[in-house]
């Protein structure tokens, strides 16, 4: 059947088609589907060209790489359909105010002026766990202890958060000596996040981070907040020293490690 140019133009205005289709006077490459999708014919076979589906609340859903659903714009596309500047994403990583916490060799870390303590997130590690939030506030009227993160000073919370980031960085590739300690002692791999906060102290200041087996079942992961806002956090070297010290104690005490420490 012959289709004239006017008919093709009507179809194109309704559904869209290529310039070639208009010139050839043929609409055979565009078939409106009953469900509102546009089915195109490619080499004689139909294939669906489906737009982004809308949810009932009008928010577009996009399937992520892990099969999950991401609400809102897909990564890299802004609300106007534009693409984010790649450099802006890089800057966000480079400007991480907690970047020093990820360097497992740094004992004393500092933060850019104005860094705000984020909400606390428990770190993730495959073989070890860091629980709790324990502050010891070294000034008159300070809480000794408080186990509420929200009760910490701004500097104290910032340091505790950084210490958790350090834990995650070290345990991402946990030293063999620590894995061996867990395997060959009665300790199950649990740590507890503790911070000595000297922010308001008039008589002392931080000196060192520390690891201390409070009980065989629980090791204190201790950071210190200094009066100048800097922070001492455990290092990889400290963790390795702790594992060696506690391994010797476990060997001589039937697997018990209570009391061993490193700083």
Predicted confidence (pLDDT) per residue in 154-166, tens digit: 999 999 999 999 9
Domain boundaries, the chain: 5-49, 100-262
Q: Is residue 224 within 8 Å of residue 230, measured between CB atoms?
A: no
Task: Provide the angle, in degrees to the nearest 10, between the axes of the packed helices 236-252 and 176-184.
Answer: 30
**Helix ranges restricted to H, 80-223:** 86-94, 154-171, 176-184
| Residues in the chain with pLDDT values less than 50 | 1-3, 5-15, 18-93
Nearest in space to 229 (alpha carbons), one of 103, 66, 113: 113
Q: How many CB atoms lie within 10 A of CB 206?
A: 23
C-alpha to C-alpha distance for 77 and 81, rounded to whole angstroms: 6
Output the pLDDT for position 95: 87
- Tokens 């906060």 belong to residue: 197
DSSP helix/strand/coil, 63: strand
Output the pLDDT for position 15: 46
Output the pLDDT for position 12: 44
Output the pLDDT for position 254: 97
């Amino acid at each position: 059947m012959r289709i004239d140019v006017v008919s093709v133009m009507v179809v194109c205005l309704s559904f869209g088609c290529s310039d070639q289709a208009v010139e050839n006077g043929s609409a055979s490459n565009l078939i409106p589907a009953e469900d509102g999708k546009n089915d195109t014919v490619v080499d004689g076979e139909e294939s669906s060209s489906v737009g982004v589906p809308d949810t009932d609340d009008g928010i577009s859903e996009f399937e992520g790489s892990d099969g999950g659903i991401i609400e809102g714009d897909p990564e890299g596309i802004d609300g106007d359909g534009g693409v984010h500047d790649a450099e802006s994403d890089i800057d966000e990583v480079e400007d991480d105010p907690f970047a020093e916490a990820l360097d497992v060799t740094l004992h004393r870390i500092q933060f850019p002026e104005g860094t705000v303590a984020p909400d606390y997130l428990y770190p993730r590690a495959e073989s070890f766990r860091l629980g709790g939030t324990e502050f010891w506030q070294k000034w008159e009227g300070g809480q000794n202890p408080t186990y509420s993160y929200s009760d910490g000073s701004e500097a104290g919370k910032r340091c505790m958060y950084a210490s958790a980031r350090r834990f995650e960085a070290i345990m991402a590739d946990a030293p063999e000596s620590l894995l061996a300690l867990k395997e060959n002692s009665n300790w199950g791999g649990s740590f507890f996040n503790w911070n000595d906060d000297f922010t308001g102290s008039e008589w002392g200041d931080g000196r060192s981070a520390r690891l201390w087996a409070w009980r065989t079942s629980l090791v204190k992961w201790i950071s210190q907040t200094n009066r100048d806002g800097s922070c001492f956090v455990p290092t990889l070297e400290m963790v390795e020293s702790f594992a060696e010290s506690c391994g010797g104690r476990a060997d001589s005490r039937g697997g018990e490690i209570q009391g061993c420490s490193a700083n």
